[in-house]
């Protein structure tokens, strides 16, 4: 998981998990209470979570939530560590709800509402710098070992670049066995000690356009349905640089004095997905609400482009450069269904607390073909089933009312989704949040802060001698402000 990417690893288990996981964003009130709104409703963010939340609205309303996203990544590799960070200003939520039917009675259909909301469901932005000394291996070893048994015509595209740039070459007397510049192409004992630097840059997001309809029946049962149209954009870029001051052996007299090589990989995905959601909120007594929501699988159609190149420097021979053409793919991804159940308890008009549980079985994610493509995804789908597992997510939230001022707090746990035999089996996300809001009849202004933290093991490459791993600690700080206006209050 989360290992080296090449053109040969398009549509990976990582892709399936990345586009299946949802970290609900939305209004400042929603995020500052940990997103625990399955049983609450009354917030436009719930159109992407529990559509029954639209039935709680008593009047038409419009909201907008800009967001500042700050992410810090500490990477440790070979006894060295480095920090890198980035900022992203984006729109977390914007939408409206309007009354179609509004009755003053306390029984029967009290209101029916129609709403739309754009809600950010994941933010992929991240940068990292990994530094260390290669004392046992190199990315070139990975290329050589992975392609042993293959001739030049059949080797992987990244290894082909390594061969073109003389970083790897065939062992003397063989055309399908490979050595590296660090070992004189298999003729000498390997010489390491090179400085390894990898620059990682991810960008993009998923966001859902939620179109919902729902209502309120007798102030006891709230119901709703949502058609979700998700837009996906993900870009991955990394540069892998290895530099040495050693006089490495070479069988090429005109290429002596190897100094460095730089391998660059770019990967871009865009797509659109569709899902359908149903939900209810039941209020058995005035102080208690119980919520339930079901999300159908999201069916994405994704266009993917990948490109890589490499340069190598020698004292004699100068710059060697090679690149592969941009390759494009079109495929479909079906993400797993989701089930949510929650409860909220209101203490008169003073406070409320809310808790919810979410289930998603990521083993059910599936790649498939589109159009006339005849590619067989059965092996990759089996890898998903073997590598991922079901996940249990928990969200808690609370709100205290002090006249027109509201104080809020929340906690979320996004549970482990990777099988126990994987290096990232402990990967889970913890989120703490808080906020404050002001409400005055038809206007509201809310401020929210969320911190999401997770550890991560990032694999640079895997060789017979070692798996080169960087231990990462990722912290996301999210600041948001919501402006809302109610009509006909």
Is residue 448 within 8 Å of 433, Cβ to Cβ?
Answer: yes
290-338 pLDDT, tens digit per residue, is: 999 999 999 999 999 999 999 999 888 788 899 999 989 999 999 999 9
79-126 pLDDT, tens digit per residue, is: 899 999 999 999 999 999 999 998 888 899 999 999 999 999 999 999
Residue 343, domain member (yes or no): no
| Residue-level pLDDT at 371 | 86
Is residue 28 within 8 Å of 399, Cβ to Cβ?
Answer: no
Query: 250 to each of 59, 109, 326, 441, how far by Cα in Å?
Result: 77, 83, 32, 78
SS3 231: strand
Domain of residue 273, residue span = 7-138+192-281+297-337+359-390+416-487
Residue 252, domain member (yes or no): yes
The per-residue DSSP string of 21-84 comes to: -------HHHHHTTT--TTT--SGGGGGT-GGGGGG--SEEEEEEEEEEEEEEEEEETTEEEEE
The pLDDT > 90 percentage for the chain reads 84
Confidence of residue 239 (pLDDT cuts 50, 70, 90): very high
Is residue 25 within 8 Å of 123, Cβ to Cβ?
Answer: yes
Query: 11 to each of 114, 206, 412, how far by Cα in Å?
Result: 37, 17, 29
| Residue-level pLDDT at 1 | 43
Q: Rounded CA gap, 68 and 348, in Å?
A: 34
Residue 123, domain member (yes or no): yes
Residue 232, domain member (yes or no): yes
Residue 306, domain member (yes or no): yes
| Residue-level pLDDT at 189 | 82
The terminus-to-terminus CA distance of the chain in angstroms comes to 52
Confidence of residue 190 (pLDDT cuts 50, 70, 90): confident
Which of these ranges, 188-202, 253-267, 416-430, has the smallest mean pLDDT? 253-267
Q: Rounded CA gap, 393 and 151, in Å?
A: 48
Does residue 19 carry a pLDDT above 60?
yes
Is residue 27 within 8 Å of 40, Cβ to Cβ?
Answer: no
Is residue 86 within 8 Å of 73, Cβ to Cβ?
Answer: no
Q: How far is CA 65 from the centre of its chain?
A: 21
Q: Please report, for the domain that includes residue 422, its CATH number.
A: 2.40.160
Total number of domains in the chain: 1
Q: Rounded CA gap, 254 and 121, in Å?
A: 54
What value does the CA radius of gyration of the chain take, rounded to a whole number of Å?
26
- Non-local CB neighbours of 9 within 8 Å, separated by 6+ positions: none
pTM here is 0.92
Is residue 362 within 8 Å of 387, Cβ to Cβ?
Answer: no
Residue 366, domain member (yes or no): yes
Residue 271, domain member (yes or no): yes
Is residue 4 within 8 Å of 21, Cβ to Cβ?
Answer: no
Question: What are the start-end ranges of the H helices in 306-432?
Answer: 378-387
Residue 1, domain member (yes or no): no
Which of these ranges, 72-76, 189-193, 195-199, 339-343, has the smallest mean pLDDT? 189-193
Compute the average pLDDT of residues 373-400.
Answer: 95
């Amino acid at each position: 998981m989360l290992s080296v990417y090449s053109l040969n690893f398009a549509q990976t288990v990582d892709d399936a998990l990345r586009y299946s996981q949802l970290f609900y964003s939305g209004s400042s009130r929603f995020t500052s209470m940990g997103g625990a709104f399955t049983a609450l409703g009354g917030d436009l963010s719930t159109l992407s979570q529990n559509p029954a939340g639209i039935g709680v609205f008593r009047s038409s309303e419009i909201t907008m939530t800009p967001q500042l996203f700050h992410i810090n990544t500490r990477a440790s590799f070979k006894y060295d560590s480095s920090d890198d960070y980035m900022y992203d200003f984006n729109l977390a939520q914007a939408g409206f709800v309007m009354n179609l039917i509004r009755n003053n009675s306390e029984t029967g259909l009290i209101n029916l509402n129609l709403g739309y909301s754009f809600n950010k469901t994941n933010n992929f932005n991240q940068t990292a710098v990994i530094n260390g000394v290669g004392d046992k291996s190199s990315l070139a070893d990975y290329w050589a070992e992975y392609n042993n048994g293959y001739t030049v015509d059949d080797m992987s595209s990244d290894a082909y670049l390594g061969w073109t740039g003389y970083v790897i070459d065939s062992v003397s007397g063989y055309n399908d066995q490979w050595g590296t510049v660090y070992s004189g192409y298999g003729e000498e004992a390997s010489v390491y000690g090179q400085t390894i630097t990898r620059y990682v840059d991810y960008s993009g997001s998923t966001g859902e356009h939620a179109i919902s309809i729902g209502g309120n029946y007798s102030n006891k049962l709230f119901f709703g349905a949502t058609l979700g149209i998700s837009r996906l954009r993900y870009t991955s870029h990394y540069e892998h640089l290895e530099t040495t001051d050693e006089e490495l052996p070479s069988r090429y007299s005109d290429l002596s004095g190897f100094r460095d090589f730089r391998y660059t990989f770019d990967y871009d995905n865009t797509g659109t997905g569709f899902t359908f959601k149903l939900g209810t909120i039941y209020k058995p007594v005035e102080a208690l609400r119980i919520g339930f929501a079901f999300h159908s699988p999201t069916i994405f159609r994704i266009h993917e482009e990948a490109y890589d190149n490499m340069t190598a420097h020698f004292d004699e021979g100068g710059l060697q450069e090679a690149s592969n053409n941009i390759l494009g793919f079109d495929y479909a991804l079906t993400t797993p269904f989701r089930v949510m159940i929650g409860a909220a308890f209101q203490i008169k008009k003073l406070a409320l607390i809310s808790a919810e549980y979410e289930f998603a079985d990521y083993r059910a994610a599936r790649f498939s073909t589109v159009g006339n493509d005849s590619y067989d995804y059965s092996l990759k789908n089996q890898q998903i089933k073997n590598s991922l597992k079901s996940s249990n997510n928990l969200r808690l939230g609370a709100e205290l009312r002090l006249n027109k001022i509201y104080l809020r707090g929340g906690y979320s746990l996004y549970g482990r989704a990777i099988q126990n035999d994987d290096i990232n089996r402990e990967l889970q996300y913890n989120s703490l949040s808080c906020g404050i809001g002001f409400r005055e009849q038809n206007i509201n202004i809310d401020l929210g802060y969320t911190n999401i933290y997770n550890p991560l093991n990032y694999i640079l490459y895997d060789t017979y001698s070692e798996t080169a791993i960087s231990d990462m600690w990722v912290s996301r700080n999210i600041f948001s402000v919501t402006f809302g206006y109610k009509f006909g209050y």
